[in-house]
Amino acid sequence: MDVRYPDRPSAGEILAQQLLHYANRPDVCVLALPRGGVPIGYEVARTLKAPLDVFIVRKLGVPGQEELAMGAIASGGVRVLNTEVVHHMNVPPSVIDHVALREEQELHRREHLYRNHEPPIELKDKTVILVDDGLATGSTMRAAIAAVRQHRAGRIIVAVPVGAPETVAEIGAEVDEIVCPLVPRGFQAVGQWYVRFDQTTEDEVRELLVAARRG
């Protein structure tokens, strides 16, 4: 039997069924991590009748070792630093600022493109459901969690269709609730658990956000 999801929208529909206890609640909002999390977040928000927004996270890579995250920036002007990496790699504040400035430009470009001047959702005291298409290492989701916490959300729920067992356990310990229907022992990559895993385009993200705002 094939346990893979047909595609992201199908995964979103299945995920939404496990979040029905958050339906029709005025304090709930859905934040999707673009780009792959947006088709899933759209289905979740539609089912729960909750507002949908994007929550953009940009990793701050150590210069010369860009895959090593020394921190991240996120929507709303939030910066989160991995102090352990910063101290271990002896990264000076000026270098952090330089990398952050470059990533802020890309973050603002995406926010302008996706939102088209629509203001972000106010997160203070809200029950925030953070959605992505899966959890591998969890680094992007961790940055999103830290950033949402700085926005003083009331509760933080992480919802993903599939995740690596150890990452799901670690992330679950950091938030109020984690919902992940598929936690396979043979996890290697998020894409292996989807039949169709095409890259979500920026146009698709924009179209889904417009559709969500129209209700």
Query: For the domain that residue 95 is a member of, what is the CATH number?
Result: 3.30.1310.20
Query: Tokens in use for 127?
Result: 């029950």
Residue 200: domain span = 8-57+120-214
Residues 107 and 205 in one domain: no
- The phi and psi torsions of 68 (rounded to 5 degrees) equal -90, 115
The answer to whether 14 touches 181, Cβ cutoff 8 Å, is yes
Q: What is the pLDDT of residue 119?
A: 87
Residues 127 and 198 in one domain: yes
Query: Across the chain, where does the E strand assignment appear?
Result: 28-32, 52-54, 57-62, 65-74, 78-81, 127-131, 155-159, 177-179
The answer to whether 36 touches 8, Cβ cutoff 8 Å, is yes
What's the structural domain count of the chain?
2
Q: Of 83, 98, 115, which residue sits at a domain end?
A: 115
Q: What is the pLDDT of residue 1?
A: 39
Residues 139 and 188 in one domain: yes
Instruction: Tell me which of 34-43, 136-145, 170-179, 201-210 is least confident.
Output: 136-145
Residue 2 resides in a domain: no
Q: What is the pLDDT of residue 2?
A: 60
Residue 200 in 3-state DSSP? coil
Burial bucket for residue 128 (CB in 10 Å: 0-12, 13-18, 19+): buried
Residues 138 and 202 in one domain: yes
Residue 20 resides in a domain: yes
Q: Of 115, 146, 162, which residue sits at a domain end?
A: 115
Q: What is the pLDDT of residue 66?
A: 85
**In the predicted structure, residue 92 carries a pLDDT above the cut 80:** yes
Q: What are the tens digits of pLDDT across the range 124-162?
A: 999 999 999 999 988 889 889 988 998 999 999 999 999
CATH number of the domain at 129, please. 3.40.50.2020
pTM: 0.90
Residues 131 and 45 in one domain: yes
**In the predicted structure, residue 82 carries a pLDDT above the cut 90:** no
**In the predicted structure, residue 67 carries a pLDDT above the cut 80:** no
Residues 133 and 189 in one domain: yes
Residue 101 resides in a domain: yes
Residues 107 and 50 in one domain: no
Q: Of 48, 80, 115, which residue sits at a domain end?
A: 115
Residue 1 resides in a domain: no
Residues 127 and 39 in one domain: yes
